[in-house]
Amino acid sequence: MSKRLQVILQDPEYRDIQRAARLRRMSIAEWVRQALVQARKSEPSREVASKLEVIRAAARMDFPAADIDRMLEEIEQGYGLGRQP
């Protein structure tokens, strides 16, 4: 189902949007729809509290890991084994 949305703009704002739509050879309505899609995509996909809970749960895990100095040493050794361009 489609819904109608009314937005009140000042004349200069409207002219800017009208110009932008014209440059892209689309209607103002289509330009606004695409702008709203882009705005929604830039919003965080989950609530901050939910993201923090996932991080906290991961931090509570107790996975085996080597000593950090040993891991860094092995990484550095691995760099020396790589091919040179």
Report the share of the chain in percent with pLDDT over 70: 93
Chain centroid offset of residue 17 CA: 24
Say if residues 31 and 24 touch (Cβ distance below 8 Å). yes
Residues 28-66 have pLDDT tens digits of 999 999 999 999 888 877 788 888 898 999 889 888 888
Pull the structure tokens for residue 28.
């103002």
Q: Is the pLDDT of residue 85 over 60?
A: no
pLDDT band at residue 19, thresholds of 50, 70 and 90? very high
0.85 exceeded by pTM: no
- Residue 62 CA neighbour count, 13 Å, CB half: 0
